[in-house]
Amino acid sequence: MSDPVLSVENLSTHFFTRAGVVKAVDGVSFDLAKGEIMGLVGESGSGKTVTGFSLLGLVDAPGRIVEGSIKLNGTELTTLSQEGLRSRRGREISMIFQDPIATLNPMLTIGQQMKLAIDAHERVSRRAGEARAIELLTQVGIPSASARLRAYPHEFSGGMRQRVAIAIALLHRPAVIVADEPTTALDVSIQAQILFQMRDLAAETGTAMIWISHDLAVVSSLASKLAVMYAGRIVEQGPTATLLRDPRHPYTAGLIASLPATATPGTPLTQIRGTTPSLLSLPPGCPFAPRCDRATDRCNETPQITFHERRGWRCFHPVGQNSGVSA
């Protein structure tokens, strides 16, 4: 069993705003093996995007990483200098964003933007750079790549633009790609294409991926491992199939139950009652308690993670079989 390519332990990222401290990410831990695809699932405000930014050291003020360790290929990232982080971004770990229209600079050609990304880490001749760009564009499925180098972003459709972003992210064959809701802004038909393309790319290149999404259905078709986030913490994680079939945390169960695919036709869709809490005024103890049907007085304490057979969950009253295994 080789070392994990990315190892995150007890990561906490807090935002120090005028209204108070927002604990966007609060004690998150997970490992990522080479070539593994992990899904990071949660509603908006759960902290999944901030987790992604934290991994790349791109957290904007007034936020910063206050605690924890991020080990990429064995190097500790949280103690690196700005230059150290910069030299690893794009080369060992990359990120792609949700809205491909906002990601690419409309005033530079695709070729120019790819060249900038290449030059950030290597000195290559113009010809070699072009060749590499063409190679990658073809790999992500963009036809007539060499002609497209001179095109501007607005000449591409949304799906194509996202592919270009993926190509840029892959330029230096990073060990990890963080994909923040990459298909949410695209048409449903394109979504599936990009999804499977990325899965194949990951397999081809051996790149590990963290797929951030609010859509459990999308992620579960792709990821071999899931981590469910709520109010800044991971409440459950484990192999995808096991999680879906037999969830432990009530929130995970709720998410699965509310998927239209699991619903019985003709009956109202299941919902998780209540709304996500404001991160400024979290209740003491388990943050999900106010919305949970299984909550008791015990839940006023903060549950720690229970580990069992490559799975983990934070709950005093977990769901499902083997409920005898409680905290």
Nearer to other proteins, 18 or 126 (CB): 18
261 binds other proteins (CB under 8 A): no
313 binds other proteins (CB under 8 A): no
Structure tokens at 314: 């934070």
Contact call for residues 144 and 110 (beta carbons, < 8 A): no
Select from 1, 74, 106, 127 the one that contacts other proteins (CB under 8 A). Answer: 106
Select from 12, 49, 103, 139 the one that contacts other proteins (CB under 8 A). Answer: 103
d(CA 84, CA 102): 27
Select from 136, 165, 227, 234 the one that contacts other proteins (CB under 8 A). Answer: 165
Which DSSP string do the residues of 149-209 spell out, in sequence order?
TT--GGGS-HHHHHHHHHHHHHTT--SEEEEESTTTTS-HHHHHHHHHHHHHHHHHHT-EE
Contact call for residues 209 and 37 (beta carbons, < 8 A): yes
Size of the site for other proteins (CB under 8 A): 40
Residue ranges in 6-65 that form contacts with other proteins under rule CB under 8 A: 17-19, 56, 58, 60, 62
Q: Would you call 306 helix, strand, or coil by DSSP?
A: strand
Nearer to other proteins, 281 or 321 (CB): 281
Nearer to other proteins, 120 or 190 (CB): 120
Specify the amino acid at residue 171. Answer: L
Q: How far is the CB of 291 from other proteins (least distance, A)?
A: 22
Q: Answer positive or negative: Cα dihedral of 213, 217, 223, 229.
A: positive
Nearer to other proteins, 97 or 251 (CB): 97
Select from 110, 137, 149, 169 the one that contacts other proteins (CB under 8 A). Answer: 169
Q: What is the pattern of x (binds other proteins, CB under 8 A) and - over residues 222-251? A: ------------------------------
d(CA 8, CA 25): 12
d(CA 121, CA 170): 13
Q: Which stretch binds other proteins (CB under 8 A): 105-113, 203-211, 212-220, 296-304?
A: 105-113
Which DSSP string do the residues of 49-108 spell out, in sequence order?
HHHHHHHHT-PPTTEEEEEEEEEETTEESTT--HHHHHHHBTTTEEEE-S-HHHHS-TTS
CA 125 from centroid of its chain's CA atoms: 34
Q: How far is the CB of 295 from other proteins (least distance, A)?
A: 26
99 binds other proteins (CB under 8 A): yes
Nearer to other proteins, 113 or 237 (CB): 113
Nearer to other proteins, 95 or 244 (CB): 95
155 binds other proteins (CB under 8 A): yes
Q: How far is the CB of 20 from other proteins (least distance, A)?
A: 10
Beta-ladder partners of 243: none
Specify the amino acid at residue 185. Answer: A
Q: Which stretch binds other proteins (CB under 8 A): 118-126, 192-200, 226-234, 285-293?
A: 118-126
Structure tokens at 265: 């036709």
Q: Would you call 261 helix, strand, or coil by DSSP?
A: helix
Sort residue 325 into left (φ over 0), alpha (ψ -120 to 50) or beta.
Answer: beta
Q: Which stretch binds other proteins (CB under 8 A): 165-173, 211-219, 292-300, 315-323?
A: 165-173
d(CA 172, CA 60): 25
Which residues of this chain interact with other proteins, rule CB under 8 A? Answer: 17-19, 56, 58, 60, 62, 86-91, 94-97, 99, 102-109, 112, 116-117, 119-121, 152, 154-155, 165, 168-169, 171-172
